[in-house]
Structures are given as structure tokens and as C-alpha cells.
Amino acid sequence: MHSSDRSREDIRRFVAQAARQDQFLEVVSGEEARARFHRHLDLSPRGEERVPLSAALGRVLSADVTADVDVPGFDRSVVDGFAVRAADTVGAAEDRPVALRLNDEVLAAGHAPELTVEPGTATVIATGGMLPRGADAVVMVETTEAVERPDGLFVTLTRPATPGAFVAAAGSDIGRGEVVLRKGQLLTSREIGVLAAIGLGEVAVVRRPRVAILSTGDEIVAPGQPIRTGAVYDSNGAILAAAVAELGGEPVPLGIAPDEDEALERLVARGLECDALLLSGGTSKGAGDRSHRIVAQLSDPGIVAHGVALKPGKPLCLAVTGGKPVVILPGFPTSAMFTFHSFIAPVIRALAGQPPTLAEEVPATLPVRLGSERGRTEYVMVSLVHIAGGGANGGAGGDELAAYPLSKGSGAVTAFSHADGFLAIDAQAEAVEAGTKMSVQLLGRSLTPADLIVVGSQCIGLNAVLGRLIGGGMTVKALNVGSMGGLAAARRGECDIAPVHLMDPATGAYNRPFLAPGLDLVTGYRRMQGIVFRRGDPRFEGRTAQEAVAAVAGLADCILINRNAGSGTRILTDRLLGPARPTGYWTQAKSHNAVAVAVEQNRADWGVAIETAANLYGLGFLPLQEEHYDFIIPAARRDRPAVRRFVEALEMLEVADALRAMGFIR
């Protein structure tokens, strides 16, 4: 067969399979899928083992722990001083000191007393020393005076001591017979301290469930290896292994399975030796998607749900065999993480002996309109910012929250790590309007507001400023919503700083024309924008930007990669082009990097981007015009300490140097 015949055959097979796709996913609701899954799972912890305290961190108690001893184990002095009978000190005063004869003993910590404190006597005692018979209080050495008399050594007191003063009673911390920690308790340094205090050298913990993790796909490459164009680093494997460990499981990484039945079958068989098996990728019915076909061979009962009406997560495949979970997570990292946390994490927690967690929800306003696909409950990762609530200095203060969607799609890996939580959009809704109050389910347990909130257009140069502040201990939340989004956020009081680069098309002036009352502008830096092209391309090399555009604008095979409407760079491009509409004009990339990649990878021949991006991708560059990247600051937030420090950092020589080194002009 000719290779073109073969590829035609491949295409026919793909189309035939794709046509049958709609039959496979019997899509059920998330609740239905979960119910079916749990009906067959055995969620009891997988046995117990004894571990030394030194290995107990992060483990879960398999049984209640009862104290066999009192803590403290004896009545103990908590100061350096004298053990006395409180009754002897009654009436002591500056003008009527009470003198007590010192017994011939010094009670250092760890020594059992031998002498009784008889009426009229006292015994020297150190912090941690055991209270002797007869004594019921301790007086601090500072409040006494030692006196040497012919008849012996005395201590005089000028104040009475109350019974029990400076004494920690035996068992006051932990009493013998008391349950100090309960089954299911996760052991942190605090609990380990308690176990040590009652003398336990080892402790019974739940055996960690072993969770096999297998990434699938011919295109997947292990991190650390070189990568070819079109391939993808295995992020799911690393994410899942870490998430399993965080939940108290023991990850068993099985690596990457190619799209090849035999290898996949062998690895699945190995995975089944563990307590659970997680695969990712290959669960929808693409031509190369084999995972579900292998998992479909399992029984007792095998696959219980394949396809859930969730976004992300639609192709999730849940199977159980002999009470053991076998799950294929979608290949896209956000989909994989989302379905892992909502379907798998509770199962691993249960197998690890931990009680379920209760998700915390907070109300928040959606600052932008969100479109949604009908038919699937859509979950949107969001970053929360506090809306200025008229605190004394217009601080980060208010309790009201705005929920910024981190809409990067199912394939993103960063959405989950940048998110504070997520909100759900009803399966029937087509959109949620800006200004709608939503309920946000938090990912972590608490929400601490950042010191500085930066919402707008993100630029790598900003790291030179923010990096300094973060290094100095400041917490910063930076959201990339573009210049217009930043301007709107500043108007609504949702940020401290909005980095923008907006050109007024009428005048060519940057940023200032867009200010509104209550908004200040702080000058940032400039970025040289120009035409990027592959080095050596004679259509661009050696020309000015204007010459090059004039030469290529009419060429059918010289493809432009344009920027999205509304971006500052697009305005510049349109001014440059005038009425010309070169090939590729309607293809819109959303960032400088995306333009540079398209040119580097030969999908386009030219575009407009900043010089830093051209350098990053080794492209040629024809300068056009400086773009002003400045900072809009709501006047009400100008005096916040974090904002002042930001403006100060911007003024620093080192920061200006760092910016210049990156190709910016300050």
C-alpha cells in the first residue's frame, strides 16, 4: 500500500468510529454516577500497622489512643522557688515577713523528694521539680529573701501563697485512662507531641491504601525527558501521585502506557494488585482511546458509569471490581483534577481511614458574564478577591467577594493551582450574567486575603516588581484578565493595581485617556512592539516594519497571525495595516507568546508582538512602536501599605535594571 492509501484508510476508520461515538457515552448525572460507584465499593480501611513515632507524621490512627499515665505524672513546680505549706504564709506582709526554715534538700527536676515539708519549713525547688510531701504551694524565688541565722538558713516571704500556687497538678494535662486521640485522627506534629507525652514509642495506624497511577497516550512524555513538537509532558501522573499522598494514600506510579493493548493490559493487571487503580486519558472514544476498552473487560461488576453530565469531566469512566475502584480520568489535566477531587478523593480518604470533609461555601459576585454549555453542570474554577468595603483606608477590607473565572479550559494545568474554589452553573443555564451572586465552594479550608491584588494585563516584566515584594514576605494575587478587564476591576474597586496597556485609537496616547474619576495612573515601563518573523525570511529581513507590511500584505501565501480584538496590540496592528486585510487577518491569538509560537512553528509567517517575546522564541524583530505598560490604581487604595510598597519598588534602581535586562524600557 502507498502511504497515502494507508492514511486514507486511517481516516476512514477514524470517521467510522467517530460516527459511532454518540452510542457509547450513556451520560448520567454526577449524583447517579456517584451512587452507582458507591453501591459496589468497599470503603473499609485496608488493615492496620504499627509505626514508630518518627514515621507517624501524616498517618491516620486506626484506633482510639488511651493514656496509661498521668501528664504531668506528679505535682510539679512551674517556677524556681520554694515549696511551702500555704497555711504557713497566711498574713505575710512587707511589715510582717514570715520566715521559714529551709530543709536540707534541693529538689531539682527528676529527683524524688525525701524530706517532708513540716510546718514552718520550706524546700528549695527548681522548675519541673516534684512537690514534696507536706507542701501545697510554691513561691517564686524573686519574691523571697534568703537569711542566714545562727540557727540555720531561712527564707522570708512578704506575701502569702495560695494553695496550689505555681503547681501543675498530676494529671492536669492528661489523666490516666483518658482517650487522648480518636480513631481516624490525622497525625500532625501536634498529635505526635501528645503521643510522645504519654510515652508511646509507636502507634497503630491505618495501612495506607496503595493507589496505582497510570497515564496513557502515545503523545505523553515523562517530565525530565526531551520533548518533540506535538507531544505533552505527563502532568496528570505527577498531580495524581501527589494528590493521593496528600490524602493519605501511597501512590504507586506505573508510568506511561502507550496506545497499545498489550502494554496497557499488562500495566492494568499490575495496577489491579493495588487497592485502587487510576488511569488518565483515552476514555473518550477517539481513534486511539484504548483505556476504556481494557477496563471494560473487568467484571464484578466492571464499568458502572462511563460519561457524566459534568463539565469538565464528561468522559469519566468509573468501574469497580471486587470492591476495588478502577477509574479512568479524562486526559485533560483540569478535567482529571476536577473529577479526581469530586469522585476519587473521598474514596481514598475513606480507604485511608479518614472521615469525610465538609466543603466550605462562600457567597461571591461574578464580575463578568459567563457563557455555559447546556446539558452539563458546568464547574468553573474561580479566584476570589475582596471588594473594597469602605474600610478606614479603603483597604482590601470588605467581606464582599468577587469571583473571577479562571477560564482556561479543561486542558489547563494552572487553573486548579490558581483557584480558591469553584462555582457550579446549572445544566440548563446558557449563561450567568455579570453581577450574579453565586455560591463558591472553597478548595482550601480558609480564605486569607492577599496583601496586594493585581488584576489586569500580565507581563513577565511585572515579576521584577512583584518578585521583590513577595520575597519580602508580601502575599500577592495576580489575575490575568487583560487591560480592559483590569480597568473595569479598578472601577469596581476589586483590585489594588490594574496593569494596562491601552492605546486610544484616535490619538495614539496610552492609558491616560482611559482614566475615570477616582482612578490614578502610575507610570510603569515601555515595551517595544514590532513585527516578529522567522529569522532569515527575506520578505522581512533587512526591511523596516512599514516596508515589510507593504511588501507582504498582498501576498496570498504570507500568513499573518493577528491579535484578539480589544487588545492594545490589535489596535496598533490595525493602524499599521490601514485598509489592508492580509491572509490570516481573522486568525486571532490571545497573547504575545501565542503569536510568537505560531510564527516559530510555521503556522503563520508574521505577527505583531513585543520584542521580549521575539527574543524568547528566537525570532526576527522589526520595531514599530513603544507600548506603555502602566498601572491604574484606585485612589481609595493608594495609601494601602502594600500599594505604597509596590510604587516604591517600581522606583528602585535594581528593579529598573532587572526590567532593562528583560528588554523593557524604564
Ligand X SMILES: Nc1nc2c(c(=O)[nH]1)N[C@H]1C(S)=C(S)[C@@H](COP(=O)(O)OP(=O)(O)OC[C@H]3O[C@@H](n4cnc5c(N)ncnc54)[C@H](O)[C@@H]3O)O[C@H]1N2
Q: Output the smallest distance, CB 243 to ligand X, in A.
A: 13
Q: Looking at 333, 395, 493, 582, which residue binds ligand X (CB under 6 A)? A: 333
Query: Strand 250-257 and strand 210-216: pairing?
Result: parallel
Residue pair 320/301 in contact (Cβ under 8 Å)? The answer is yes
Residues near ligand X (CB under 6 A), total: 26
330 binds ligand MOO (CB under 6 A): yes
User: Considering only 33-41, 175-183, 277-285, 401-409, which stretch makes contact with ligand X by CB under 6 A?
Assistant: 277-285
Distance CA 97, CA 162 (A): 16
CA distances from 646 to 475, 491, 602, 651 (A): 12, 19, 40, 9
Q: Looking at 80, 105, 173, 219, which residue binds ligand X (CB under 6 A)? A: 219
* Other residues' Cβ atoms within 10 Å of the Cβ of residue 544: 14
Give the amino acid at 130. Answer: M
Q: Looking at 126, 232, 521, 665, which residue binds ligand X (CB under 6 A)? A: 232
Question: What are residue 383's DSSP bridge partners?
Answer: 404
For the chain, how many residues are written? 666
Site string for ligand MOO, 409-448 (x = CB under 6 A): -x--------------------------------------
Distance CA 288, CA 294 (A): 13
The secondary structure of residue 340, as a DSSP letter, is: I
Q: Output the smallest distance, CB 411 to ligand X, in A.
A: 6
Considering the complex, state which of residue 134 and residue 315 has its C-beta at the smaller distance from ligand MOO: 315
Q: Looking at 77, 335, 480, 573, which residue binds ligand MOO (CB under 6 A)? A: 335
Give the amino acid at 623. Answer: P
Query: Strand 606-610 and strand 560-563: pairing?
Result: parallel
Grid coordinates representing 127?
A: 522548675
Q: Output the smallest distance, CB 48 to ligand MOO, in A.
A: 37
Distance CA 348, CA 403 (A): 30
Considering the complex, state which of residue 418 and residue 539 has its C-beta at the smaller distance from ligand MOO: 418
* Degrees, nearest 5: CA angle 275-300-22: 100
Considering the complex, state which of residue 165 and residue 211 has its C-beta at the smaller distance from ligand X: 211
Considering the complex, state which of residue 312 and residue 582 has its C-beta at the smaller distance from ligand MOO: 312
Considering the complex, state which of residue 122 and residue 326 has its C-beta at the smaller distance from ligand X: 326
Helix (H) or strand (E) holding 362: strand 361-365
311 binds ligand MOO (CB under 6 A): yes
For 618: left if phi > 0, alpha if psi spans -120 to 50, otherwise beta; the answer is left
Query: Strand 620-634 and strand 519-533: pairing?
Result: antiparallel
Residue pair 68/199 in contact (Cβ under 8 Å)? The answer is yes
Distant-in-sequence contacts of 591-594, Cβ < 8 A, 24+ apart: 593/617, 594/561
Q: Output the smallest distance, CB 541 to ligand MOO, in A.
A: 42
Q: Output the smallest distance, CB 593 to ligand MOO, in A.
A: 23
Which sign, positive or negative, has the C-alpha torsion 195, 200, 206, 211? Answer: positive
What is the distance between the terminal CA atoms of the chain, rounded to a whole angstrom?
62
Q: Which does 232 bind (CB under 5 to 8 A by kind): ligand MOO, ligand X, none?
A: ligand X
Q: Looking at 34, 208, 285, 314, which residue binds ligand MOO (CB under 6 A)? A: 314
The full DSSP string for 511-562 is: SGGG--TTEEEEEEEEEEEEEEE-TT-TTTTTS-HHHHHHHHTT-TT--EEE
Residues near ligand MOO (CB under 6 A), total: 8
Q: Output the smallest distance, CB 292 to ligand X, in A.
A: 8
285 binds ligand MOO (CB under 6 A): no
Q: Looking at 70, 88, 234, 600, which residue binds ligand X (CB under 6 A)? A: 234
Distance CA 350, CA 184 (A): 10
123 binds ligand X (CB under 6 A): no
Q: Looking at 286, 302, 449, 467, which residue binds ligand X (CB under 6 A)? A: 286
Query: What is the dihedral angle through the alpha carbons of 138, 144, 149, 153, rounded to the nearest 10 degrees?
Result: 30
Closest CB to ligand X belongs to which residue?
Answer: 331
Using DSSP, state whether 243 is helix, strand or coil.
Answer: helix
Show contacts with ligand MOO in window 57-76 (CB under 6 A): none
User: Considering only 87-95, 130-138, 166-174, 274-282, which stretch makes contact with ligand X by CB under 6 A?
Assistant: 274-282
Q: Looking at 210, 314, 477, 666, which residue binds ligand X (CB under 6 A)? A: 314
Q: Output the smallest distance, CB 287 to ligand MOO, in A.
A: 18
- Contacts with 471 (C-beta within 8 Å, 6 or more apart), sequence order: none
377 binds ligand MOO (CB under 6 A): no
315 binds ligand X (CB under 6 A): yes
Q: Which does 286 bind (CB under 5 to 8 A by kind): ligand MOO, ligand X, none?
A: ligand X
Rg of the chain over CA atoms, in angstroms?
Answer: 35
Grid coordinates representing 658?
A: 532587572
Q: Looking at 113, 271, 312, 582, which residue binds ligand MOO (CB under 6 A)? A: 312
Q: Looking at 29, 143, 235, 583, which residue binds ligand X (CB under 6 A)? A: 235
Q: Output the smallest distance, CB 587 to ligand X, in A.
A: 21
Q: Looking at 160, 248, 271, 313, which residue binds ligand MOO (CB under 6 A)? A: 313
Give the amino acid at 37. Answer: F
Q: Looking at 284, 372, 483, 612, which residue binds ligand X (CB under 6 A)? A: 284
For ligand X, the binding residues (CB under 6 A) are 215, 217, 219-220, 232, 234-237, 280-284, 286, 289, 312, 314-315, 330-333, 335, 410-411
For ligand MOO, the binding residues (CB under 6 A) are 311-314, 330, 332, 335, 410
